[in-house]
A = this chain, B = another copy of it.
Amino acid sequence: MEDEKQFHPTKPIRCIIKLGGSAITCKNEFETISKEKLETVSQQLRQAMMVSTTSCGKVLGMDWSNRPGVAGTSCVVDDFCRLPALDFSRFIVVHGAGSFGHFQASKSGVHKGGLNEPLVKAGFVATRISVTSLNQDIVRALAREGVPSIGMSPFACGWVTCEKNIASADVSMVAKAIDSGFVPVLHGDAVLDATQGCTILSGDVIIRHLTEHLKPEFVVFLTDVSGVYDRPPTEPNAVLLREIEVHEDGSWSVLKPTLENLHVEMTVAAHDTTGGMETKISEAAMIAKLGIDVYIVEAATSHSLRALSGELKDNIPEDWLGTVIRFQR
């Protein structure tokens, strides 16, 4: 199904980040971004990406556009001229929708297809408007923190599905953008589907596809909780699973903590659109099976910064809060 002739980046990708919709939007407020969290996430990305530190400690913003309520442009041409070439390690960001897009998609049933129906077609347009507006806000937040971010919508990239699975998704342009020194920012999107006309391509499926083709050193899932728990983290006595090992056959087991009565089902659940914890482990397990470590951690915390920096590769410190999912060693 897949095009084989794809352009690959000349140097390895360091990290692919899944920025969970719930981590940067207010879940129960329609199309509302958690501005402070997004700002912290952007700062942490910048810190994690910086290879050489710039001579001046100043962050050189790359968003020179008008912002509601902010006077003037923040363009600082003189500061840039004095800078040596910036050296960033290679990151890709994929974000979910959170409180963007879901309303439009579910009202119209975009995921079920049927573009001949006016409601589905309108919902497709409305969903894309909503998710691309979130994408624009995330790209701008990253740019303001000096991350050379570039929005890339899967729809515009020509990614199409067939029976809801990726049928064609050339990663060449993503690779070229990285090779040119940019940080591609992709997102869950409404896309064309060969069998049912259209569907929703989730951020998790995008992550898996990019990971398979670009083989990053590690993957970080930034969420709104500390990691994967044995039951919903709001329940009393919920236990954070700190280390999960994935086996050759795709099954997985919890290495840490070594409790006997963990509630987690020891099977990899089928992909479901609701994106529950089973799905999250399942997606992460498929990535880990490629030999790529996955860290699931709360966004905008000291723990997420450590995960993004790559310092957990050989040793997970006792005071690190999060879940690592690895292929059995």
The residues of A with any CB-CB pair to B shorter than 8 Å are 30-31, 60, 62-66, 68, 73, 75, 77, 80-81, 83-86, 100, 103-104, 107-108, 115-119, 121-126, 128-130, 132-133, 136, 139-140, 143, 148-153, 155-158, 160, 170, 172-173, 176-177, 180-182, 192, 197-198
Identify A125's interface contact among B62, B104, B123, B153, CB under 8 A. B62
Given A30-B66, A119-B81, A136-B132; A150-B172 close (CB under 8 Å): no
Identify A156's interface contact among B84, B123, B151, B197, CB under 8 A. B151
- Determine the distance from Cα of A19 to Cα of B172 in the docked complex, in whole angstroms: 30
Chain B neighbourhood of A116, CB < 8 A? 85, 181
Chain B residue at smallest Cβ distance from A86: B118
Identify A126's interface contact among B119, B143, B172, CB under 8 A. B143
Asked if residues B73 and A30 are in contact (CB atoms below 8 Å), the reply is: yes
Asked if residues A60 and B118 are in contact (CB atoms below 8 Å), the reply is: yes
Identify A198's interface contact among B66, B100, B160, B180, CB under 8 A. B180
Q: Which 7 A-B pairs have the closest CB atoms?
A: A80-B119, A156-B156, A64-B126, A62-B125, A158-B173, A83-B118, A62-B122
- Determine the distance from Cα of A172 to Cα of B198 in the docked complex, in whole angstroms: 17
Chain B neighbourhood of A65, CB < 8 A? 31, 100, 104, 126, 129-130, 133
